[in-house]
Amino acid sequence: MRADDPFLDRYAHGTRAMTASEIRALFAVAARPEIVSLAGGMPYTAGLPFDVIGNVVEEVLGKEGAAALQYGGGQGDARLREVMVELMRREGIHASAADVVVTVGSQQALDLLARMFCDPGDVIVAEGPSYVGALSAFSQYQVEVRHVRLDDDGLDPDELEAELGRLAREGRRVKFLYTIPNFHNPAGVTLSQERRDRVVDIARRHDLLVLEDNPYGLLGFESNPPDALRAKEADNVVYLGTISKIFGPGLRIGWALAPPAIRERLVLVKEAADLSQSNFNQAVAYRYFAGYPWQETLKELRDVYRERRDAMLETLTEHFPPESGVSWTHPSGGFYVWVKLPDRLDAKAMLAKAISARVAYVPGGSFFADDQGGSNLRLSYCFPPPERIREGVRRLAGVVTEELELLRAIGGLPTPDERADGGPPPAWGATQ
């Protein structure tokens, strides 16, 4: 074993930037049970009906064992694709199973679509912040991600239009807009109906392809989100769905609904990448959704997540009064709260201290392809039970207070009366 890397000059450009990182080392500690992790977005799979799933697995082996353990087609199990069409109907989408491609989680769809569309130097427009896994998938293809501001109503269409204008003037090629309209990861916000109409209109006028990523759409706590973008616009939208949040991410099943030309090519790219999806997992998923009352389980999961969201928001309010300068979003579904710390706090630098205090979060900078988000962080409420969430937020409040005192003592922070604006900053990163 040698310490240098004899293959270094042979790696593709797209993977050269992948290195060991301090944050990764810290997360290795955060995985220990002593730490309250508000970092990872792991669904609460312990709430799934294992007896039912056991029956499903038995059924698959008993009724179609040989086929389930065989190779499958590149587009995926036709029965499961019908289930996916049914799931999408709940979001106002009328589609044909012929236009659905099953993928290894929607993460694979992100990778394959970026591979299909992007050459080095191309531009992808995405919300700022955006899903870290999408940014990693895109970065392999050496694209430039341009962020568009978000607020409580989701992506800002004026900013989108302005950015598209700037890019056109620069002569840059925009390959697509990547957006998460419902219960955004990491921001927790949902695109309003009015803005959905405007985004679709902008896409039509600018001939912009939209990648609509919707992992959390069925996890609304108070009401369902407005209909999907794809419900209104079929020609310019590729819709990505997943069963990870309504069933289990361990099955690695997602899908893409795409206009026919894109769908045909996507099947070829998918076959080139992995021949086919796991037939066995697809059969399990199909039988679970087709034969069992999955809506009841989903309702129970939603109740669990709602209780956890409430625990997090209540404890945040309790520990961060308005004068703390800390603000956060108020998700009505999904897994995440996006927190804005006072400007000069660096969430990444604070992480080691937080882990020493036995609480973990994801620093906001991870959700930007540029240098924004330094004083933001993402909290997840999906996995720990409410009392652990309360304890985690309490610990975090201690860390933030200590960090502010320290920064003030070093001279890196204005004293409270020196603050120009007085009120808390918006939750959307003030580094623009």
Partner 1 sequence: MTFDCSVAVIAGGLSFEREISLRSGRRVADALTDKGYRVAQLDADEQLVEVLRAGHYDAAFIALHGRFGEDGQVAAVLELLGLPYTGSSFEASRLAFDKLAAKSVLRRAGIGVPDAIPVGQDALRELGMGALLDQAVAELRLPLVVKPNRGGSALGIRLVERAEQLPAALISAFGYDETVLLERHVAGTELALAVVDGLPPLPAVEIRPKQGWYDFAARYTHGAADFRAPAEIDAALAERCLEVAQAAHLALGCRDLSRVDAIVDQQGACWVLEVNTGPGLTSTSLVPTAADAAGVSFADLAVHLTNRAIARRPR
Tell the residue number behind the tokens 């106002």, with chain if given. 92
What is the size of the binding site for partner 1 (CB under 8 A)?
Answer: 34
CB atoms within 10 A of CB 334: 30
Rounded (5°) CA angle 142-235-177: 30
Taking a C-beta distance cutoff of 8 angstroms, is the pair 122, 144 a contact? Answer: yes
With CB under 8 A as the contact rule, which of the stretches 4-12, 56-64, 254-262, 277-285 interacts with partner 1?
Answer: 4-12
Give the strands of the sheet with 100-103, arranged side by side. Answer: 100-103, 254-257, 237-242, 210-213, 174-179, 123-128, 144-151, 154-155
Q: Which is nearer to partner 1, 215 or 374 (CB)?
A: 374
Among 79, 138, 355, 366, binds partner 1 (CB under 8 A): 355
From residue 309 to residue 348, what is the string marking binding to partner 1 with x (rule CB under 8 A)? -------------------------------------x--
Q: Which stretch binds partner 1 (CB under 8 A): 18-26, 165-173, 279-287, 302-310?
A: 18-26
Question: What tokens does 427 get?
Answer: 């939750």
For residue 213, give the H/E element and its range. Answer: strand 210-213
Q: Which is nearer to partner 1, 35 or 95 (CB)?
A: 35
State how far the Cα of 110 lies from the Cα of 116, in Å rounded to an integer. Answer: 10
* Beta bridge pairs of residue 37: 360
- What is the C-alpha separation between 404 and 347, in angstroms, rounded? 12
Q: Does the footprint of partner 1 cover residue 97 (CB under 8 A)?
A: no
Q: Does 46 bind partner 1 (CB under 8 A)?
A: no
CB-nearer residue toward partner 1: 39 or 93:
39
HSE toward the beta carbon, residue 19, CA cutoff 13 A = 7
Residue selected from 295, 405, 416, 423 as contacting partner 1 according to rule CB under 8 A: 405
Binding residue for partner 1, selected from 13, 25, 94, 205, defined by CB under 8 A: 25
Residue nearer to partner 1 on the CB measure, 302 or 353: 353
Between residues 16 and 63, which has the closer beta carbon with respect to partner 1? 16
Among 389, 392, 397, 378, smallest CA distance to 324 is for 397
Nearest CB to partner 1, comparing residues 15 and 223: 15
Tell whether residue 12 is a contact of partner 1 (CB under 8 A). no
3-class secondary-structure state, position 175: strand
CA separation for the pair 120, 115 (Å, rounded): 10
Report, in Å, the least distance between residue 392 CB and partner 1. 16
Binding residues for partner 1, per CB under 8 A? 1-5, 7-8, 19-22, 24-26, 28-29, 32, 34, 346, 349-353, 355-356, 403, 405-407, 409-412
